[in-house]
Every structure is written in structure tokens, then in C-alpha cells.
Amino acid sequence: HVTIYAKDYEPPKWWVRHVDLDCDLSADKARIRATLNVEKNGSHDRPLVLAGDGLKPLTVQVDGADAQWTLEGDNLLIELSGEAHEIATTVEFDPSANSQLMGLYASGGLLCTQCESEGFRRITFHPDRPDVLSTYSVTMHADAKAYPILLANGNKVSEGIGEDGRHWARWEDPFPKPSYLFAMVAGDLSANSGAFTTMSGREVELNIWVREKDLPLTHHALQALKDSMKWDEEVYGREYDLDLFNIVAVDDFNFGAMENKGLNIFNSRYVLADSETATDQDFDAIAGVVAHEYFHNWSGNRVTCRDWFQLSLKEGFTVFRDQCFSQDHNSEAVKRIEDVRLLRAIQFPEDSGPLAHPVRPDSYIEISNFYTATVYNKGAELIRMMRTILGEKDFRKGSDLYFERHDGQAVTCEDFVKAMEDASGKDLAQFRLWYSQAGTPTVRAHVDASGSGAVLKLQQDIPDTPGQKDKQPMAIPLKMALLSRQSGAELVEERTVMLGEAEQTVTFEDIAEADPILSINRDFSAPIILESDRDDEELAALARVDGNAFARYEALQELNLRALLPVIRGETVMDASKVIAAFDATLSDERLDDAFKAEAIMIPSEAMIGEKLATIDPDKVHAARQALGHEVGKGLTEKLEQMYGRERPAGDDLSVAAKGQRALSNQLLGLIASGDPAKGARLAKAQYDGARNMTERQGALTVLVSLDGAERGAALEDFYNRFKDQGLVLDKWFGLQARAERDDTMDAVEKLAEHPDFTLKNPNRLRALLVNFASNQWVFHHASGRGYDLLARMVIEADKLNPQVAARLVPPLGRWRRYTDARAKLMRAALQRIEQADGLSKDVFEQVSKSLG
Ligand code: DPP
Ligand code: ZN
């Protein structure tokens, strides 16, 4: 397998100015005739190289005449004599046999495409690299009954009836785009349609295309699309550019969704929702993904990536944009807390393991493996830090300059930073290290105060990561304040301190209190691990009085960890008193909203606790976390039950307040059950039976699945019978059981893998069982190694169908260095078994070989 290096980038030898496709489509046969207008870039005598993947050319013509060609591996080579030519090729393949879900494939009676990153080469021969931008025209022919709707990028310019019950439609996209943004869909679809009038007064037609029976489930997505269009105009001054915006929902999809120009294709889980079948979280995720894909129209499509090493250029920026959109439509602090929790649960482990890579990677074997939390979520943190450093005004100036300067171009992360620099006049030289140095920095913070002033001492340390050692200090923006221990008032008002040296001190004069409390990395202004020597009293005070909601949450998390870690290390028995007092104060604080309280009383996950340990013993982590939950549940019984008993909002009320109330209610139920399982089971079963929406139902079932007793089985059976015909809800049924914290979950998951409704062919179903299972730390790391065995078997099986999805299951096994010896050995053995499987894809090979290290 070949490693591709960023440093080897060369501009394309040939441009493709226009692509014309003629596509004859049926479920088991697609015939694609492509006409490419190519133009030599500079002067050279190199042949035209067109990438293919599994394609054989049936015809190859140059300027209308049959031409000489050769196949080199999968690539088509054509010698050309002049500066510009018209190249025509024909290929044929079977979409129904495409289980990789890349290129053109069949899903639930539809034909649809997925081309990012390198799927277009599975449809036709083409350079298929993001720096080759072309206009496209596409003619689709298909059976009119089976495929009444024919969609592609851009605008439909003509359509007609063909012979033998077939029809055709012709689409043109006037905006030059890279091939990864190509899309077409054929199927029996119905649209929920709407309209949006842009800031310059243009009317845009909006359609959410689904199966007819799913139409009632599309209102939320349509509203989210309108909200996104408005938000991008208001916040970034970005207007939509075509007269039509289509979204199509498909059931079998590798990603969450795809931003194809004018024709977004979505995993149906990020489109379909009503309150009976989707939780509040699902609704929020839908709005977030609709926004994300819509925002790509500028950050990704109008300005795209020069090469795939620049992936974070579009993904980091667009994640940041969708995070801010969601912050503006929900509780700002709570959204931030959720995003940071995700970063810590997924990106931090990635950044400290064998698959660690910079936000702008230096090399890859298979680019699909780099659609990671580092590129996406850490990438978003980089953009957020730039906004913090520049301030909102200059950041907007920078984004305006970026879009203006690079509209219609394929550019680099460097171009983005340069635009920010040029617009603001701020020097971001050192900041650029965030793009090239992997690893999560640790920052140590300490305050010395004398009664007349205070000194903040900061220290940073960047860990070694694979292929990178002895790193340079980074530019780390730390939002901080010093608070009065008595009143919580800000003795030093919030400011951003730039930490740029390995060690640095900041002096504050005229601080009369000898004992101020440090509030730092407010709003998680930098993606770092903070180590501070604040004592428990300081943390308790911060949890109570810090004016920054995020910092309050952090103080609570830290108090939890301080209760847990010494118990896990065997140094002491559980003392939950400080956590109980802090939770109590938080729950009683009337200034705080319910959504925040729901976050605040969440005990850190086993994964997050594990991150704090040099060597993880999952049994000990589990036992300690259970013990803390039990103590807290017992210690706060009265308050938890009283708050849990409050009246609930209407079942279909999706207001921010109602969502917050339900989130809190479900967290309270969880803690009650931790304190008193029997009572928890009764209450949860009652909530389940009386549930008026999926948030209440799933909240109850989440608690029940980890408990014993008759209620559990009854609720699980009811859930299955109620929803067995609704794939997205059945996914929840698999996922909930895989997350159950029970000593028989291992058995249950093995059985579920044999369940008639389980399939490796549908990525949502596969992830529902296996991703949830592999993130259920205590169960996955079953001392017998059965968890590793199961995952290894599933990776090998899934790889035969869909390498991309299979490769994404590997990282949990790659964490072996962090586990106790016996487990580490078993994990390595599982990786080795995968490595030795016949016909391993390069996707899985890359993940496994790097994981073994
Ligand atoms: N570009 C997609 C997204 O992140 C993934 N293919 O939106
Ligand atoms: Zn994206």
C-alpha cells in the first residue's frame, strides 16, 4: 500500500474545464458516457492520467476518434498531442453490487451517489482530485416508474420521455466544482417543499426528498435549512447562489451527510424526525447537520480544498460554523459543554494514541481514514481560537477577505490563516503550529497572591506523538479571571492571556485579596488539558459562583474526578460528600437553567475517567464510578425525587426550555436509579409507559437497560414491537442494549450480532451495535477478551463489504498501550488477527498497522 505525502503535492498537469455525463441508469446496470474538455496546464509532455476504481473503459475517444490508451493499475493513460482536447469514455457497472457505498449505489430502491473523497472515479474516469474544478452537465435516463424523480447538481434545464417507459432529465451546474461534489439521485421520491428569499431578494426553491410515507417527518429539517440560510447571511454575509436547493434522505450512507453542490445527500437519521420517534438530541443533531452541509456551500464548495491534506480547511471551519449556529439557537453554554465533552471523549484519546495526527496531516495511505475528530473537531477549535485571538469583528473581516480572495479556488489551510492575518494585522506565525503539531498540550496553571498583587504562572508541555518529537511551544489563548473567594466577584476581569512560551508569568497589580481563585480556560478557549493545584474548596466555590457557566461545569467535573481517581488508584474509599454538596447547590441555584443543570450533574464517563489514568483497569474505573453514582443518588434522594416529580412540558414542545426540562428529568432519573435501583426501575417503567415522546421513552429505557428486574425485559420487548418496522428507531434498540452497564451485556451483544434485524450492510445498524458496544468501556474490555474478539470478527466481515466503515471500528483496539497487561495483550492479538485476514482493504490495513505501531 502506497503512502501519499503532503510534501509531494504538484499542480495538475491537465485541467478539466467541463464534464458532460450521459448516464443510463438501472438498478443492476449503469452505463456512463463522459465527455471531458481537457486543457494542458503549463508546458510539458506528460500524458493525461484519469483515475478509475474498478472501471474498465468500453470506449475511449479523443476529439471524436478512437484513441490509444493504456491502463496502469486502475488509472487510464492517454497520450495527447495538443493543448486542449475532448476526451470521451464509456464504462458500465452494477450499482446494486456496490456495497462500499462509494460512487453510484443502490439504497432502498433509490440510486444515489457518494463521491467524497475519491468516489467519482468509481463512476467514470476522471482526475478526481479537488484542485481540478469543472462545470458539469448531466443527462440521466431511467425507467419512469421505478425512478420518477431524477436529480443532479445545479438546475434542471430540460426533461422528456424516452422509449420503453423510460424518461430523461438534463441538469447543469454553472459553478465550477471539484468531482467530489458531484451527485445524482434517481428514485421514487416525494418532496416537502419550501422557499427562501435571500438577502438580495432572490427566491430559492427548497426540497427535502424522501419516500412518500416519510414526508411528515421532514418539517424540522426544512425549518433548519431556512434557519441556516438566514444565519449564514446574518453572521457571515453569505448568500445562497443557485435557484434550487435539494436534500435527499437515504438509508444506507457512510457519513452523516454530504454537501454536494445544490443536491445534498443525507443519511436519513439526520433528516427524519417527529417527537414520537426522535429525541430532542436527535432534533438538535438534525439541525446541526443540515446547517453544516448548507454552510459548506461557501466553506467547502465556493472555496474548496487544494488537496485532501487540507481537509480541515473546509471541515474545521464548517464544524465551527455549525457549532455557533447551534449555540445561537439553543443554550450557548450547554452547546459548548456538549462540544467539549465530545472533543474529550473522542479527539483527546485519538490525539494521545497511535493514530494521532496533526489537524493538517502530513501523510496517509487511505484518505477516508482522516475524516477524524482531529480534522473536524480539533480543527473547529483552531478556528474558534483564531476568533478569540482576533475578536469577533476582525474575525469576520478575515472570513470576508478569505471568501472574496479565494472564491472559485481550491486552497490551503495556510490561505485561511493568511486571510485572518491580513485582515486583522495580527501575527499568527506561532499559531500555525496548531495545524502541524499533533498532541493535546498540557497547561499547568498556578497563582501566587500576596495581598497586594497576584502572579499567574503558566507552563505548557506538548506530548510526543507518532513521528513527532520535541515540539515547540504553541500559542495558547487562555480566557481567565481572578475571583474573590468570598463573593465570587471578578478581582481581575475576564481577559485572554496568550501563552506562547514554555513557561510564562503574568502579573496583576492591586489585588487586595490574598487568596483569589483562578478561573481559567473559560469557555474552553483552548483545546488543552489543564492542570491546576486549586484545592477542593476553590473548585466548590467556582462551581457555585463563577460567572462563566462553562467554568462552573469544569469545576464540577474536576470535583468528580477528585472523588474518583484516588479510589481507582486504591488510595482511599469513596468520599462523595463534596460532589453531593456541589450537585445540591447547583440543583438549587435558580439562576441556572435546566439544560445546564442536566450537564452539571453528569458524572464523567468511564472513557473520560480513563483518560486521566496512565494505566486503565476498566473494572476499577467502573466500580468507582458506580460507587460515586450510588452515593450521590442516595445522598440527594429527596431533592432528586422532588425535582423529578415536577410537571413535564407538553410532549411535542421543542422549545429550549422544554428540551432542558426533559434533559434534566432524565439525568435525575438516572441518579435516582443509581441510589436506589428498585425505585429507579419503578419510576423508569412508569415514565416509559406514560412516555409522550421519544425523549421520555428513550430516557426511561436508558436507565432500565442497566437495571435488573421484570421492568427491563418488558420495556425492551415493547420497544421492539412498537418500532420494529422503523429502522432508525430500531437502531436505538440495538444501541441502548449495547450501552447497558450489566455483566451480561457481553452475552447480549454477541446475541444481537446474530439477530435477524442486524446487518453489516447498513452503516447505521452496524454502528448502533458496534460503536456503542466498543464505547461501553467496562463491557468492551471484558477481561476474557470476548469483546475484542467480537470486534475483530466484525471488522474482518465488514471489511469485505465496506472498508471505510470497517476501518472506523478499529481505533478502540488501538488503545492497547493504556490498558493493564493482560488486556493489552488480548487487544494486540485481536489487531494481529485482523492484520492477517485475507484481502484486507488498505483502509483497515492502515488503521491496524498504525495501531500495532
Ligand atoms: N464532507 C462531509 C461532511 O463532513 C463528509 N463527507 O459534511
Ligand atoms: Zn463537513
Q: Is the CB of 231 under 6 A from ligand 1?
A: no
- Which residues have a Cβ under 8 Å from the Cβ of 351 and sit 6 or more positions away? 374, 378, 438, 439, 440, 465
Separation of alpha carbons 790 and 314, rounded Å:
36
Question: pLDDT digits over 357-408, tens only?
Answer: 999 999 999 999 999 999 999 999 999 999 999 999 999 999 999 999 999 9
Q: Is the CB of 659 under 6 A from ligand 1?
A: no
Nearest CA-CA partner of 365 in 807, 759, 722:
807
Tell me the three state secondary structure of residue 835. Answer: helix
- Ligand 2 centroid to Cα of residue 289, in Å, is 9
Which ligand is nearest to the Cα of residue 320, counting in written order?
2
- Ligand 2 centroid to Cα of residue 255, in Å, is 10
- Atom 2 in ligand 1: residue holding the nearest Cα: 258
pLDDT score recorded for residue 512: 85
Tell me the three state secondary structure of residue 301. Answer: coil
Burial class (CB in 10 A: 0-12, 13-18, 19+), 212: exposed
Residue type, 137: S
Residue type, 72: E
Which ligand is nearest to the Cα of residue 318, counting in written order?
2
Nearest CA-CA partner of 519 in 492, 556, 481:
481
Sign of CA dihedral 287, 288, 294, 295: positive
**For the CA of 258, the nearest atom of ligand 1:** 2
Question: Among 116, 293, 381, 711, which one carries the catalytic annotation?
Answer: 293
Nearest CA-CA partner of 806 in 103, 100, 113:
100
DSSP string, 342-394: HIIIIIHHHHTSTT---SS-SEES-GGGG-SHIIIIIHHHHHHHHHHHH-HHH
Q: Is the CB of 338 under 6 A from ligand 1?
A: no
Separation of alpha carbons 130 and 172, rounded Å:
19
Residue type, 107: S
Q: Which three cell numbers stand for residue 25?
A: 441508469
pLDDT score recorded for residue 234: 98
- Ligand 2 centroid to Cα of residue 317, in Å, is 9
Q: What was the ipTM of the complex prediction?
A: 0.97
233 is catalytic: no
List, in sequence order, every residue forming a beta bridge with 110; answer none if it has no partner.
107
Q: Please answer whether residues 288 and 143 qualify as being in contact, where contact means their C-beta atoms are separated by less than 8 angstroms.
A: no
Q: Is the CB of 828 under 6 A from ligand 1?
A: no
Separation of alpha carbons 320 and 391, rounded Å:
15
Nearest CA-CA partner of 248 in 370, 422, 350, 110:
110
Name the residue of 261, 293, 323, 372 to mutate for ligand 1: max ligand atoms within 8 A of Cβ: 293
DSSP 649: P
Question: pLDDT digits over 585-598, tens only?
Answer: 999 999 999 999 99
**For the CA of 371, the nearest atom of ligand 1:** 5
**For the CA of 114, the nearest atom of ligand 1:** 6
* Domains of the chain with bracketed CATH: 304-436 (1.10.390.10), 442-526 (2.60.40.1840), 724-853 (1.25.50.10)
- For the chain, 853 residues long, the average pLDDT of each consecutive 10-residue run is 97 98 98 98 98 98 98 98 98 98 98 98 98 98 98 98 97 98 98 98 98 98 99 98 98 98 98 98 98 99 99 99 98 97 97 98 98 99 99 98 98 99 98 98 96 94 98 98 91 97 96 92 98 96 96 98 98 98 98 97 97 97 98 98 97 97 98 98 98 98 97 98 98 98 97 98 98 98 98 98 98 98 98 98 98 96
**For the CA of 315, the nearest atom of ligand 1:** 4
- Following CA atoms 259, 265, 270, 274 in sequence, which dihedral angle do they give, to the nearest 10 degrees? 130
- Following CA atoms 625, 629, 631, 632 in sequence, which dihedral angle do they give, to the nearest 10 degrees? 130
Q: Which three cell numbers stand for residue 114?
A: 457518494
Name the residue of 259, 321, 369 to mutate for ligand 1: max ligand atoms within 8 A of Cβ: 259
Helical pair 392-406 and 219-236, crossing angle rounded to 10 deg = 100
- Atom 1 in ligand 1: residue holding the nearest Cα: 258
Q: Is the CB of 118 under 6 A from ligand 1?
A: no
Separation of alpha carbons 257 and 265, rounded Å:
6
- Ligand 1 centroid to Cα of residue 474, in Å, is 29
- Ligand 1 centroid to Cα of residue 299, in Å, is 12
pLDDT score recorded for residue 719: 99
**For the CA of 292, the nearest atom of ligand 1:** 7
Separation of alpha carbons 373 and 231, rounded Å:
25
Q: Tell how strand 4-5 and strand 363-364 pair up.
A: antiparallel
Nearest CA-CA partner of 737 in 727, 723, 751:
751
Separation of alpha carbons 732 and 277, rounded Å:
10
Q: Is the CB of 293 under 6 A from ligand 1?
A: yes
- Ligand 1 centroid to Cα of residue 283, in Å, is 19
Q: Is the CB of 583 under 6 A from ligand 1?
A: no
pLDDT score recorded for residue 507: 97
- Which residues have a Cβ under 8 Å from the Cβ of 656 and sit 6 or more positions away? 329, 330, 331, 595
- Ligand 1 centroid to Cα of residue 260, in Å, is 9
Which ligand is nearest to the Cα of residue 255, counting in written order?
1
- Ligand 1 centroid to Cα of residue 512, in Å, is 52
Separation of alpha carbons 206 and 195, rounded Å:
5
Q: Which three cell numbers stand for residue 652?
A: 411535542
DSSP string, 685-724: HHHHHT-SSHHHHHHHHHHHTTS-SHHHHHHHHHHHHHHT
Q: Is the CB of 307 under 6 A from ligand 1?
A: no
Query: Alpha helices, DSSP H only, in 204-249?
Result: 219-236
Q: Is the CB of 322 under 6 A from ligand 1?
A: no
